[in-house]
Structure 1
């Protein structure tokens, strides 16, 4: 195994080590498992002539944040476990001391028309925390094929990568506002309203409640919502709740049972089970990794 990453150029410094644990290289895309060791507080500017997509298989250390400079107003934003950096963009990042394992995929073009997607500011900001369960699950499957290759692993990885690229495109196009043009009944303002209702503390609204508030039948709302987001309301709400929980767990303050209620879970046990299913860690393990 070549220890040098083929996904992007990594600086060789005493403060950061990167070990390439495995690789599948295909036409147009290279997929690698990386293990990092960071010594002290970190900061870097990521830029590459090819796009790359990264899933943190273990929590990113510290309180990772980043931004695209003048392209996005409002300064740095928290980085999610799935991160996409389009080719040619300069992502300024900061994170903490510790270790991390990731699957990182570097690829050329959009995968379909040999052109990079023209991302709006909204889509660029969304790329810092790609909240797509489909993208996350596909990357985990690719990581498993790299870590434990089996019969026709490269062929299977290529098929999964096509799915990943499609789901990423859908997510970015919707985040950039194209969903309003193709979805009658769910305007951008209604989708924003739905997000605000979901993110309120306590138990999330039901499909029937949101449908009534949007002036739609339950069946029509369900169909339009899935067309717009690619998810059922249940999976979408869970994804948003887990994202909010991650932000709260990065703080030393609120107790886990308080976070559970704030994110709409009936109990701390239900919260812990859902969080572990989504991330592979219990809330306590995630908080300890973030704060130490």
Structure 2
């Protein structure tokens, strides 16, 4: 876990891992799921229900809301605990999760990059991204979709289709999977699939595929002694140089830094 305390918030980046938690926050809590997560949860009640969140989805829990949540696999997750008295949605809006907002996605990715860079991160940059995510929460409370979401297209990307795409990616990531193959998996044309997927997940299918490849590479670096060339091949990258370039561009760190950080946990 990476954590930083700012003037207005505590930010934590949690690695993908099973969890079983229960808590009642005293302050507003913003969450962002970089990966699909599945399990069961309950908010402000004893009624536990199954859930499956989309990748790149935003969540919010108001102060005083009892939360129970468990997952056998988890997923990389960002949490932001705002200071007491921070601006929050109208109390009637309550909690929410699985909300996709393209602006929030970019802010969460930048915030993750800054956290991974650690010593090089500027607190003012961290606070700026937190403010953007706070604004996304306020927007989300005002309606089910942001202005940039194509609602009609998003409806085609049902939970079942999203699950099939995730399963296909995990099973064939190292095979040079194409967008056309992903579209065929769910019975849609490549063009419409790209539009529907972006509407539902906030990113293009290709961008999502790269994120999944990077996530697998990070886990292999953390849990195995395999060389970079072997890890790159197992994740569908053309070479260890291609993997290294993607890690530097998207996360701002070299593979050696990620491996060292995993060993120090």
User: Which sections of structure 1, spanning at least 5 residues, go unmatched?
Assistant: 1-17, 24-29, 35-43, 56-66, 74-81, 93-101, 127-131, 175-179
Partner deviation per Cα, 1:212-263 (whole Å, 9 max, x = no partner): 3332222211111111111111211122222222222221333222221111
Deviation at 1:164, TM superposition (A): 4.3
2:154 to 170, 176, 183: 183
CA distance in 2, matches of 1:49, 1:158: 18
Q: 1:253 aligns to what SS in structure 2?
A: coil
User: Which sections of structure 2, spanning at least 5 residues, go unmatched?
Assistant: 13-20, 33-39, 51-56, 71-77, 146-150
1:117 to 79, 95, 103: 95
CA distance in 1, matches of 2:260, 2:188: 44
2:227 to 255, 278, 282: 255
Deviation at 1:105, TM superposition (A): 3.7
Partner deviation per Cα, 1:45-67 (whole Å, 9 max, x = no partner): 86522243479xxxxxxxxxxx9
CA distance in 2, matches of 1:19, 1:225: 33
For residue 279 of structure 1, what is the aligned residue in structure 2?
251
Q: 1:281 aligns to what SS in structure 2?
A: coil
Q: 1:250 aligns to what SS in structure 2?
A: helix
**TM-score, normalised to structure 2's length?**
0.58
Q: 1:202 aligns to what SS in structure 2?
A: helix
Partner deviation per Cα, 1:80-112 (whole Å, 9 max, x = no partner): xx99784533689xxxxxxxxx99442679944
For residue 201 of structure 2, what is the aligned residue in structure 1?
229
CA distance in 2, matches of 1:242, 1:167: 30
CA distance in 2, matches of 1:254, 1:72: 39
CA distance in 1, matches of 2:242, 2:29: 34
Partner deviation per Cα, 1:20-78 (whole Å, 9 max, x = no partner): 4x41xxxxxx33579xxxxxxxxx986522243479xxxxxxxxxxx9899699xxxxx
1:147 to 92, 105, 123: 123
Cα pair distance change 1:166/1:251, threshold 3 Å: farther
CA distance in 1, matches of 2:94, 2:86: 5
Deviation at 1:194, TM superposition (A): 0.9
Contact kept, 8 Å, 1:47 with 1:91, in 2: the verdict is no
Contact kept, 8 Å, 1:256 with 1:268, in 2: the verdict is yes
Cα pair distance change 1:163/1:270, threshold 3 Å: farther
Matched residue count: 214
Is it true that 1:89 corresponds to 2:67 in the alignment?
yes
For residue 60 of structure 1, what is the aligned residue in structure 2?
none
Which residues of 2 match residues 163-202 of structure 1 at below 5 A? 163-165=135-137, 183-200=154-171, 201-202=173-174
Deviation at 1:147, TM superposition (A): 2.1
For residue 82 of structure 2, what is the aligned residue in structure 1?
106
CA distance in 2, matches of 1:68, 1:84: 13
CA distance in 2, matches of 1:161, 1:270: 31
Contact kept, 8 Å, 1:197 with 1:204, in 2: the verdict is no
For residue 264 of structure 1, what is the aligned residue in structure 2?
236
Cα pair distance change 1:160/1:141, threshold 3 Å: farther
CA distance in 2, matches of 1:51, 1:235: 30
Deviation at 1:291, TM superposition (A): 1.3
CA distance in 1, matches of 2:130, 2:254: 32
CA distance in 1, matches of 2:139, 2:233: 31
